[in-house]
């Protein structure tokens, strides 16, 4: 029996060609920022909890980035793993202009000025306790004290050649202070990608292992400054505050567990929205692939499409180079 249905949505799905011409969202290599781990090691080292992701020494970094740029990826975020003997309670190595991440930026910019370099502006790679800020005597992470250090570090980032600074600390008021500091020192074109809605997530473990920011494998509690995953209204407030303080781009992190926050940000703010598909999101897909339960290429593509569909203008992803080669 054939019914006379006037509306048949399946007509738009009859063939691959039809599905292609009505597809609403597509991924492009220019959508991505590739996070890259760097170290002072003399060799490339794979991160055990992130198959296919490596720590790169500076002298091999340029070839890797050139390869990614040839695929169409133009933006790269650098995350340093520094020697443990350089880590202190105050994280003072972040203010050393000769520190690893600044040396890497200068080297890369001297070779290719067209790439976009993004500096992670946080203290956790540099502190012996693994927190993103300075500890007060009572053990609380000091807000204004941390902001002061980050503002100073933003100048070193700009001087080293970073195009954007990305404060990922979630301290109150830091976007306004960093913007003022950059402007007063004539870094008017250095942008701020603010980790505006960064949640106290369980998905960060592989990242912390990659930069060795958890002392002796301890679970570092960051819930006094990162957002409660249960709270939508609190995330809205943080996004609004960073927008009003002068952020050039707002970020939501992690991405896929918080698609509703990404969509809210896209709908309510007229600046680009970034989303960070974090290490745990990457590792769960790769682990399931290794067990034969999922296909990582199909799942990664679907996950990234969902993030873009939710409203992300820019996606930070460890899959960026792998997916870009398939697009």
Catalytic residues, which ones? Answer: 198, 253
Give the residue carrying structure tokens 């650098």: 78
Helix, coil or strand: residue 317: strand
How far apart are the C-alpha atoms of 220 and 213, rounded to whole Å?
9
Quick one: CA torsion of 325, 117, 199, 291, rounded to 10 degrees?
30
The position carrying tokens 């996004």 is: 239
Which helix (H) or strand (E) is 308 found in, with range? helix 296-310
C-alpha dist (Å) from residue 152 to 7, 157, 256: 61, 9, 33
The string of DSSP codes covering 133-195 is: SEE-TTS-EEHHHHHHHHHHHHHHHHHHT-SEEEE-S--TTHHHHHHHHHHHTT-TT-EEEEE
302 Cβ contact partners less than 8 Å away, ≥ 6 residues apart: none
Cβ atoms of residues 121 and 154 within 8 Å: yes
Decide the pairing of beta strands 45-46 and 54-57.
antiparallel
């Amino acid at each position: 029996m054939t019914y006379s249905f006037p509306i048949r949505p399946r007509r738009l799905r009859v063939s691959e060609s039809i599905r292609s011409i009505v597809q609403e969202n597509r991924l492009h290599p220019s959508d991505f920022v590739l996070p890259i781990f760097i170290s002072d090691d003399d060799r490339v080292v794979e991160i055990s909890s992130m198959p296919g992701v490596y720590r790169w020494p500076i002298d091999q970094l340029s070839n890797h980035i050139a390869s990614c740029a040839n695929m169409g990826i133009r933006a790269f975020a650098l995350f340093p793993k520094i020697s443990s003997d350089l880590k202190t309670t105050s994280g003072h190595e972040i203010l050393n202009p000769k520190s690893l991440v600044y040396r890497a930026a200068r080297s890369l910019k001297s070779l290719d000025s067209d790439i976009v370099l993004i500096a992670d502006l946080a203290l956790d790679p540099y502190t012996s306790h693994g927190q993103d800020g300075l500890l007060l005597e009572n053990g609380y992470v000091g807000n204004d004290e941390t902001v002061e250090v980050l503002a100073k570090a933003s100048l070193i980032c700009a001087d080293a050649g970073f195009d954007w600074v990305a404060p990922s600390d979630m301290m109150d008021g830091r976007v306004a202070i960093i913007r003022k500091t950059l402007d007063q020192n004539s870094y008017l074109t250095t942008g701020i990608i603010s980790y505006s809605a960064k949640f106290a997530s369980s998905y960060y473990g592989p990242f912390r292992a990659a930069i060795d920011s958890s002392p002796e494998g301890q679970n570092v509690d960051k819930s006094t400054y990162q957002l409660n995953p249960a709270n939508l209204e609190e995330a809205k407030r943080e996004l609004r505050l960073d927008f009003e303080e002068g952020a050039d781009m707002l970020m939501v992190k992690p991405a896929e567990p918080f698609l509703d926050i990404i969509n809210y940000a896209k709908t309510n703010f007229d600046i680009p929205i970034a989303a960070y598909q974090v290490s745990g999101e990457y590792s769960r897909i790769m682990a399931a692939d290794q067990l034969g339960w999922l296909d990582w290429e199909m799942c990664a593509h679907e996950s990234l499409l969902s993030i873009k569909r939710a409203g992300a203008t820019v996606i930070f992803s460890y899959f960026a180079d792998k997916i870009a080669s398939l697009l």
